Every structure is written in structure tokens, then in C-alpha cells.
Structure 1
Amino acid sequence: MAINRLPEFYISYPSCHEKQREIAASFCEASSVGFDNCAGAIDGILVWTHMPTEKDAGDDIGRKSFLCARKAKFGLNMQAVSDKRGRILDLSIKCGGSSSDCLAFEASNLYSRLSRGLLAPGLVLFGDNAYINSSFMATPFPNVSSGNKDDYNFFHSQLRIRVECSFGMLVHRWGILRSAIPLGITIQKTVALVNALAKLHNYCIDRKDGTDTVCEPTTEDLSNIMVSEGGYVSMETVDSCDVELPVQLMDAGHHFDDIPESQRRGDKRQSSNIILPRTLLLHKVVESDMTRPMIKRRK
């Protein structure tokens, strides 16, 4: 509670266009093709909890909304935007684990701000296909395995993966997130806890003066994690990410089960006559004459 009260730790995506362009310039340094308009990478992760009590869940929501069927775990859908270094620029925990990333994102304050023109002209967030491609969100092209669109998807993922690395750093740093939040901690307190951990995560990165490595847990830390009631998730090595990731907690909201097909079609129709940022990024890839690296297969 003390951490969450400190105004200097407050997490909210910056409204200053100059700061947004600084974020995009930092991402551009990591882009092989020179994408210079990524103002943040967004994704969701499951905050694992025990099944809440009926009182804690609330009559209007219900305990089932906290069950993530994809991961067979109860929890909360946390939406976060990170910069290139893994600092969390925005955070929202408003939906249960059953929610799609798209719906959880649209329930966030950030979505409302983006819809009202938060970003500087030309800037967008980079998200995966759990989100809807729009004027402020560039997503991959679905169902492609070759050609220019596939090349774009590769260069897009170079920057988008930064938020996954951020999740890896966050969970690696705070082992309590590798298991279900202890019984007795209410949903409201869990949200406050995760917000505090995210703020300390940013503080640690800032204090490192550019070094974003996370210290290895002590033997005592690992022992406490491994004896957690209900088990724990392992940290796994993933290609193109320089930190281990809590894969069992990620991609939980990669579905559109709670978004009507009619709504998604309506969103596509509204943007059909507009040249969206993804199209401009595709043109940049084509004009650069760059292609995704060839995968070296074992003989």
C-alpha cells in the first residue's frame, strides 16, 4: 500500500508526445528493418490465483469468470505495455482469467485514451493476433507462411517480443507470481500486490543504469517457490528472448470467445477504407527489400 501511494512510482502510459517518440526511437534501435513507430509492445499474462470465494468474486461476476480454461488455472488477466528495456509503461487488471486479451484490453483505461487520440501521429502499439488491428494497434498478418507479409510478421515480432521478455523479468524477479497467490489474499489485494511488484520492477530497471539483467533467485527463494501449495510454473527458454519466460502463464487470453463475430466484422468494415499503420509498415518492409532470416534446419 505504501508503494502504491508513492506518486513517483505511478504507472500510466505517458501522454507527452515527446516521451512517446523517445519510446519509439528506442524500439527502432532494435528493429532490423527500421520500424520507427512502435510506441510500446502489449500483451497479457495470467496472474495465477486460487479459486476465489463467492464473496470475493462478487455476485455480478461469479467465480467461473476467473477460471482460465486454456491454462486450467484460476486467475486474473493482466494487460501490460512495455518499452524496449522491459519497463512497464501501462498496466490494467480488470478482468478474470477467462477473458480474452482483446476484451481485457478494451476494458482498460488505456484503450479509452487511445481511442481519444492519445498517441502522437503515426505511432502505434505492437500486439499479437489476440488484438484487433486498428489505427493505434499494429498486429501480425494472420495465416501467412511466406512472402512479404510473412517477412513483416518476423520484423514485427522482433519488437513485440519485448513485452514477453518484460513478463519473464517480472516473474523471474518476483517468485510469488510463479504460483497461485496465497489463500487469504483477496482479489482486490492481489491487484494491489501485482501493481506494487510492477512498480518495483520498473524501479529495479531504472537503478541498473541500462543493465536489465535479473539476479538469479537464492536457494531459499527456489525452495519457497517449489513447495507452494498447488504447484508452480517453470521458467522456460524461448527463441529470440534473452530471458526465460513463464510460458504456462502466457497466451491465456489468446481467443475471441467473448467478442461477438458481428463486432469484429464491424471493426473491420469501419477500417476498410482507411490505410492502417500495418499496411504502411508492410510497405516499408517491401521497400527495404529485406526478408526474414532463413531457418537453419538440422540434417
Structure 2
Amino acid sequence: MDHEYEQDAALLLQLFILSVGLLLCLPGEPRNPSFFEQRLAWKRYSEKHQKRSTFTRRLRMGKDSFDKLLSFIVDDLLVNETQAVRRGGSIIPALCLYCTLRYLAGGSYLDITDIAGISKSSFYRVLWKTITAICKCPQLKIRFPNTGQEIKDAIDGFAGISDGGAISNCVGVVDGYLMRIKVPTKKETGNIRSFFSGHYQCYGVNIQAVADHHSRFIFFAYAAPGVSDDRNAMRQCALHGLVESLPAGACVIGDAAYIPTERMVPIYQGTDKLIPLYDNFNFYASQCRIRVEMAFGIMQMKWGILARPLGCSLKNMLWLAQAIARLHNFCINERLEAAGTVDNDTVLSTNGTGYIPSVPHDADGDPVRLDNIFKGSFEGNSYLREFMAKRIKGLQLQRPSRNKKRRRREDE
């Protein structure tokens, strides 16, 4: 019996080896033939679109700004030429930045790869390499004012756009932005439903952003899943600590979704906004607060990728959102520089006075030490907001009558 069992085992082994050999001999699925990709001649391409005045429309910035941005990140985009020859030629840094900007502007990877002469895999490789370089670039860093001079410059900027110097202690304006995403997978998050926003009826992430008087972002971060409201999202990121670390008298203005504190000043809501004192404050505070709304609008119109849900993973989405915010600031800085506006220099409102105080002042023109007015604070109450409303009343400023009529019609 043992001898017969050994014969059967040997026979089965031979049959197995024979079947494996036959499978190896069978023709496999044919591979796509390899061919040489002709890379885009960048110099000729850029010169052509400069002459046609279409360079800015394609890449959301002029050629000089493109070259300046490239100089910031070129070291991170260089490749090993020896290794690149084996893969069909190197993808130069200018071409990497071109592919990234064109994609963020709303272009399809299919069209971009055809124009640039690269494969799909190479496109996504250079895309994320460029986005990473932008996020790590120190010249493009988003900074929240933390030194005395930076806070003063920010306050002076908002004082310059506030009629009559009504708001003279605002450092920035805050709001939330729902960045739409595709439905995340279970591998990315344990609670997929938390990313669905019932208000907007789509999946997304809550972005908390603070803008300056030029609608540049001085804070921009993914704070929470889309289901979170702004007041809770603010606590889940570094913004809450930055705002509460501002010196006494300085504040950040937001909409009614935020909880008032001595440094977080939202506009009045509910029945409070019907009181003339608070209604006038809402009007002048909104003159500043609209800057963050403008920032979101400019960002979404300029970078067309935001017109559709982002299809990348949640991990990569953090890098993508940060890169878009930094490019948003870079484009505004380039526009201000081209217009001859010095950074942080704002022409003050002409209302008959040559000086607008950068901190709250009393009727005699002396600076008010708000830390002496109250001892401590608690959420839901703001002595500072009350003081700002009374200051506007003291300046004899009020909401224009034509604006009152329009607001009354909207309420009805």
C-alpha cells in the first residue's frame, strides 16, 4: 500500500509540474507598446502664449510671476538626469509647475498629459511633488500676526477700509468654508457620515480661514469633518489658541456662528440685531468681514479644481488645500506689487482726519486699556464687542438709510 501511495504522489507531482509548464508557455495578455514621449518645448510654448496674451488665463499668473514662483521651489523639483534618460527624458521643473497650475486651474489630466508629453503616472508623480514643494516653501508660508508690529499692520489695514475708522482694532476676519470632497472610504475614516454636510447636501471638510484686508489668508487649515459647525471646528484646530493669544483690545471679527469672547467678536444675531446700536455695529463690522467672503470667492473662481468635489484621499487633500491657499496669497501679492502697493500699506479712509487710531480710544483720544475695564471673561459675553458698538455710536456713525430699507426687505 505504501508503494502504491508513493507512485500516486509522484504521478500527481508530475501532473502539477506539467500544468504549470503549460501555463507558462501560454501567451499572456499583450502589453501596450512602449514609445518615446516628446516633452513640451517649454520656452517656445511660453513665448507663444505670452504673445497671444493667454499665459495668465491658462496658469492664473503672468510669466514673471511664474518664474518667481518657480525660483522658490526649483531645488525641490530637480531630478537626476542620468536616471531620467532611461525613462524617456527628464521633466524639467518649469514643466512640473505648469502641469500643477494647469490642473489646479481646472484642466483635465488627459489634456495636460497630451500637451506636456508625459504619461498619466508621471503626471500625478510631478503633481504631488510640486504640491509638496509649495507647501514646504518658506516664502509662501501663511502667517498669523503674532508680533506687535504685525498686529499693528493688520489693524491699520482694516482701519483703512472701515468708513470713518469705525472698526479700529480688527486683526483679521474669520469664516468657515466647506471644501467639497468625494465620499471617503472606510479605510480613510471610521465615520463616513461625519463628512456629509446637511446644509450643503454634499460631502466635504470644514476649512477655518482668517483673511486680512487684502483678502489674503493669514490662517487656513482643515479643522473638522463637514458635519461640524464653525464654532466647534474652530476649537479643533490651532485657530482658537491664536485668537485668544491676541493682546487685549485686538480682535478677530466673524459671523454669528461664532461664540463671542474678548478676542472673538461676531456680529449680533436674533433680536439683538434689531436694536439700532447693534445694527449699526453689524453694518460696519460687515465691511471688514466681507473680506474673508471675497477671499473664498476669488479662490474658488481662480482655481477651478474647487468647482468639483476633490477626488484625492483625505491625507492628500490636506496638502492640496494648503497649496491652493498659498497660491491664492501669492497671486494677490503679485497683483499688489504690480499695482505699486507696498505690502501692509493701505491708504486710510478720507473722512476729514489724517489719523485713525489702531486701538480703541475714548472721547478724549486716549487709548483705552480694556484689561482694566473687566477682570476675566467667559464665552457668550464680550465686553469688547459692546465697547466697539458704543464707540461707533460715539462717532455718530450709523447704517445708511438706503441700506436699512434693503435689509428690511430682505428680512420680510
Q: Secondary structure at the match of 1:91?
A: strand
Residue 153 of structure 1 pairs with residue 282 of structure 2: yes
How many matched pairs? 235
1:13 aligns with 2:120: no
Amino acid at match of 1:104: A
Q: Tell me the alpha carbon deviations over residues 138-194 of structure 1, each in whole angstroms, 9 at most, x when there is no partner.
A: 111222234111111111111011100010111111011111012xx1011111101
Q: Which residue of 1 aligns with 2:263?
A: 136
Q: Which residue in the other structure is 1:231 paired with? A: none
The match for 1:277 is 384
Q: Which amino acid aligns with 1:282?
A: A
**Structure 1 unmatched ranges of 5 or more:** 213-268
CA contact (8 A) 2:178 2:204 kept: yes
Query: Which of 171, 183, 186 in structure 2 is aligned with 1:39?
Result: 171
> Do the aligned partners of 1:46 and 1:75 also contact (CA within 8 Å) in 2?
yes
Contact 1:33 1:155 in 2 (8 A): no
Structure 2 residues without counterparts, runs of 5 or longer: 1-131, 340-376, 407-412
Aligned to 2:336: 209
Residues 114-135 of structure 1, C-alpha deviations (whole Å, 9 max, x = no match): 33x2x23311000011101101
Structure 2 partner of 1:98: 227
Equivalent in the alignment of 2:34: none
Quick one: which of 320, 325, 330 aligns to 1:193?
Answer: 320
Greater CA radius of gyration, 1 or 2?
A: 2
Q: Percent identity?
A: 29
Residue 295 of structure 1: SS of its match in structure 2? helix
Give the letter for the 2:148 counterpart.
H
Aligned-partner SS, 2:178: strand
Higher helix share: 2
Contact 2:180 2:204 survives alignment (8 Å): yes
CA distance in structure 1 between the aligned counterparts of 2:298 and 2:269, rounded to whole angstroms: 28
CA–CA distance in structure 1, aligned partners of residues 387 and 232 of structure 2: 26
Using a 3 Å threshold, how does the CA distance of structure 1 residues 187 and 102 change in structure 2: closer, same or farther?
same
What do the CA deviations read for 1:24-73 (whole angstroms, capped 9, x no partner)? 1011111114111010000011000111011112x2xx101100010000
Residue 286 of structure 1 corresponds to which residue in structure 2?
393
- Matched position secondary structure for 1:21: helix
Give CA-to-partner distance per residue, 1:266-287, whole Å, 9 cap, x none. Answer: xxx8368x86210111111110
Q: Deviations over 1:180-229 (max 9, x none)?
A: 012xx1011111101001001111111112579xxxxxxxxxxxxxxxxx
- The answer as to whether partners of 1:114 and 1:136 remain within 8 angstroms in 2 is yes
Distance 1:275 1:203, change over 3 A: closer
Q: Which residue of 1 aligns with 2:47?
A: none
Q: Which of 291, 309, 318 does residue 180 from structure 1 map onto?
A: 309
2:178 pairs with 1:49: no
1:54–1:73 CA distance, 2 compared to 1 (3 A): same
Amino acid at match of 1:97: G
| Paired position in structure 1 for 2:247 | 120
Structure 1 residues 210, 37: CA separation in 2 closer, same or farther (over 3 Å shift)?
farther
The alignment status of 1:295 with 2:405, answered yes or no, reads: no
Matches of 1:167 and 1:290, distance apart in 2:
29
Alpha-carbon offset, residue 10 of structure 1: 1.6
Structure 2 counterpart of 1:18, one-letter code: Q
Q: Residue 265 of structure 2 contacts residue 382 of structure 2 at CA under 8 Å; is this kept in 1?
A: no
Q: Distance in 1 between matches of 2:180 and 2:399?
A: 35
Q: Which residue of 1 aligns with 2:350?
A: none
SS at match of 1:125: strand
Amino acid at match of 1:43: D
Would the alpha carbon gap of residues 168 and 91 (structure 1) be closer, same or farther in structure 2, given more than 3 Å must change? same
Instruction: Name the counterpart of 2:195.
Output: 66
In structure 2, C-alpha distance between the alignment counterparts of 1:204 and 1:147, rounded to whole Å: 40
Contact 1:12/1:91 (<8 A) preserved: no
CA distance in 1, matches of 2:390, 2:283: 14
- The equivalent position to 2:161 in structure 1, one of 17, 26, 30, is 30
**Partner AA of 1:286 in structure 2:** K
Post-superposition offset of 1:113: 3.0
> In structure 2, how many angstroms separate the alpha carbons of the residues matched to 1:68 and 1:142?
23
Greater RCO, CA 8 A, separation 6+: 1
